Amino acid sequence: MIIDPKKCVACGNCVAVCPMGAIHIDPEKKRATVNQDECVECYTCFRGMSTERLNPTMVRTIRKIGSWLRWRFDPEPDVCPTAAITEQELAWPRIVRRAFSDPVVPHESTGVHGRGTEEVKTNDVTNRVGQDDAGFTVEFGRPTVGVRFWQIQEMTTALARMGIEFEKRNPVTSLMADTKTGEIRSDILNEKILSAIVEFKTTLNNAPAVLQKIKEVAKTLDTVVAVGAAARCDEQGENRLEELLLREGFTFNRGKTNLGLGRPSVDIAQARATIG
Amino acid sequence: MTNTLHRYGNERNLSNDFIVFAIPCRGYNDKDSVPKLKRFLRTATKYNPVNLGDGSHGGAYRPSKNLNPTAHWSRKSEPDFETVIEGVNTPTTVAAVFDNIKAVEEFVAELQKEDLGLSINISALIDRAQECCDGVGIARHSVEYSLGFMGQTDRLADRQVMELSTMCGHGMISFNFARKMIDWVKEGRRTPEQACNYFSRFCSCGIFNPTRAKEILEEARRRNS
């Protein structure tokens, strides 16, 4: 993202809005400036802020007079008065920043928006996570801290050494150079993104060791890691993972509950029955 | 919507925070899912949701690209559910946010009858979601538990900022903006309702809960976190 210096009036509204804190008012130029290395192309400023299309010279003059008189104008804090925030064309590898940071852009690998994962949200349709499994989502950089791919790689390689098989329908997996080792393409390792999710499942028996490893590696990374653990329930709606997590010392109160109302469409179900 | 999984808060201020969402599964039931997604949203409106959202196009509160200067004194602040429903034109995740369990139970009961065939999830306190399931006679199919944050948690913000910011799990509500709005409310420069409207416009999936945010801001006005 860039801010057009011809239009910017240095109102500062975009400074607080940026999740990465990548925007500041340059004291020399008196214009908002984006630190391109820190910007993750999340489009929060461009899309989230409303815009007026006021004349920049007029706004600067009014602001100058107000400032000289020590008047405080109280403008709407989510508005760019001169529509100065400008998209730039993104080329590889920078384009992965937007793919992982702008929730409105669907991931090519999965067709899903946001971080591009379905986890157990569609488990009633796919039955990906069974009753003897534990599904994991390990999310990096959230909330609003950000992460570089080389940091994610620290975790994926450690998990791969444990024999973890990464979910194929996942955007991070699609960017791995080798899914067996967990290594990520070298040309994107230094790209910074808002967040990304590594997704995999393992057996319930293996879950404590995996959780231990995640905790251990997370401690070494200069970012935050948010972990989700998922289970398939039995006919009574109970599962064994909950007890296991409590035994391992985890406390939790929030989650996502799949109600089991989904099913494959008729043609897909018939096709699968024929193949099966 | 992992973006709803890790909402930060205590049991008290999360107890009336519910996101019910419908998601088609690519390659399984996404074909012809658009009318079903619209049906989901249309049904939700009967139960007074506090927000609605379409992961591809936005929520019921949206920024405007052509404001005129009078917006600084009078600005539209009502959610626009119709735009969300009419805007769904591709398989995507759609969500309805509620601030009371009764509405969720009634909505889920109607979804059960509608039999859309799409995956329906409730993102909420696990016990509260269980309560809904018991209320309508559904056994949970699968559950995903939020185990919270690990790693360099000292890089996170204070409690109230976290509670507001994590209501958009995609991180579109920055720590700095949440802090700024808390300060503005405390200084009397904006009401909690106005601050909630600003936040809601940034959440592009429409899963921000303005009722809960207002309570957090009211509490912040009275005391420090």
Taken in order A149, A154, A159, A161, the sign of the CA dihedral is positive
Give me the interface pTM, i.e. the ipTM.
Answer: 0.96
C-alpha B146/C-alpha B125 separation (Å) is 10
Q: Which residue of B has its CA nearest to A227?
A: B147
A233–B141 CB contact, under 8 Å: yes
> DSSP E strands: which ranges in chain B?
18-23, 51-54, 58-59, 94-98, 119-125, 142-151
Question: Is residue B74 very low, low, confident or very high in pLDDT (cuts 50, 70, 90)?
Answer: confident
Q: Report the pLDDT value the prediction gives residue B154, as an integer from 0 to 100.
A: 95
Model pLDDT, residue B1: 45
Which positions ≥6 away from A125 have C-beta within 8 Å? A262, A263, A264, B25, B28, B29, B119
| Full pLDDT tens readout for chain A, 276 residues | 999 999 999 999 999 999 999 999 999 999 999 999 999 999 999 999 999 999 999 999 999 999 999 998 788 999 999 999 999 999 999 999 999 999 988 766 555 555 557 778 999 999 999 999 999 999 999 888 999 999 999 999 999 999 999 998 899 999 999 999 999 999 999 999 999 999 999 999 999 999 999 999 999 999 999 999 999 999 999 999 999 999 999 999 999 999 999 999 877 767 666 665
Identity of the residue in B26, B156, B184 whose CB atom sits nearest the CB atom of A110: B26
- Smallest CA–CA distance, residue B192 to chain A, in Å, is 14
pLDDT in tens, B162-217: 999 999 989 999 999 999 999 999 999 999 999 999 999 999 999 999 999 999 99
Residue B155 pLDDT > 80, yes or no?
A: yes
Question: pLDDT, tens digit, for every residue of A60-85?
Answer: 999 999 999 999 878 899 999 999 99
> Which residues in chain A have their CB less than 8 angstroms from residue B153's CB?
224
> Would you state the structure tokens that stand for residue B150, as one six-digit string?
């690990």
- Nearest residue on chain A to B71, alpha-carbon basis: A76
What 3-state class would DSSP assign to A45? helix
pLDDT tens for A140-169 read 998 889 999 999 999 999 999 999 999 988
Name the closest residue on chain A to residue B32, using Cα atoms. A265
Average pLDDT taken over every residue of chain B:
95
CA distance B223 to chain A (A): 23
Q: Report the distance separating Cα A144 and Cα A223, nearest Å.
A: 10
Whether the CB of A130 is below 8 Å from some CB of chain B: the reply is no
Judge: B144–A79 Cβ closer than 8 Å, yes or no: no
Indicate the residue of B31, B119, B156 with minimum beta-carbon distance to A258: B119
Question: B16 near B101, Cβ under 8 Å?
Answer: yes
**Cβ-based contacts of A272 with chain B (< 8 Å):** none
Q: What is the pTM of this model?
A: 0.95
Contacts of B188 (CB under 8 A, 6+ apart): none
The average pLDDT across B132-141 equals: 97
Report the DSSP pairing between strands B18-23 and A196-203: unpaired
pLDDT score for A143: 83
pLDDT over 50 (residue B223): yes
Q: Does A226 touch chain B if contact means CB atoms closer than 8 Å?
A: yes
If residue B100 lies in a helix (H) or strand (E), which one and from where to where?
A: none
Residue B12 confidence (pLDDT)? 92
Q: What is the pLDDT of residues A107-131, one digit of tens each?
A: 665 555 555 577 789 999 999 999 9
| Residue contact B126–A255, C-beta within 8 A | yes
Tokens 């461009």 sit on residue: A46
Three-state DSSP class for B102?
helix
Residue B36 at interface with chain A, using a CB cutoff of 8 Å: no
Between A and B, how many residue pairs show a Cβ–Cβ distance under 8 A?
345
* Residue B149 to residue B160: CA distance in whole angstroms: 16
Q: What percent of chain A has pLDDT over 90?
A: 85
> Shortest Cα distance from B42 to chain A (angstroms)?
18
pLDDT at B103 over 90: yes
CB contact under 8 A, A262 and B25: yes
CA distance A130 to A41: 37
Chain B's closest residue to A48, CA to CA, is B202
Token pair 């630190």: residue: A35
Helix/strand number for chain A, H first, E second: 9, 15
Substitution target from B70, B77, B132, B144 for chain A, most A beta carbons within 10 A: B144
Contact residues on chain A for B4, CB-CB shorter than 8 A: 256
At B126 the pLDDT is 97
Q: pLDDT at position A86, please? A: 97
Per-residue tokens: B187? 């200084």
B211 near A CB under 8 A: no
Dist. CA B122–CA B97, nearest whole Å: 10
- Disruptive mutation site among A73, A261, A272, A275 for chain B (greatest number of B CBs within 10 Å): A261
User: Is B140 within 8 Å of chain A by CB?
Assistant: yes
Tokens read off for B24: 């088609």
- Across B149-173, average pLDDT: 95
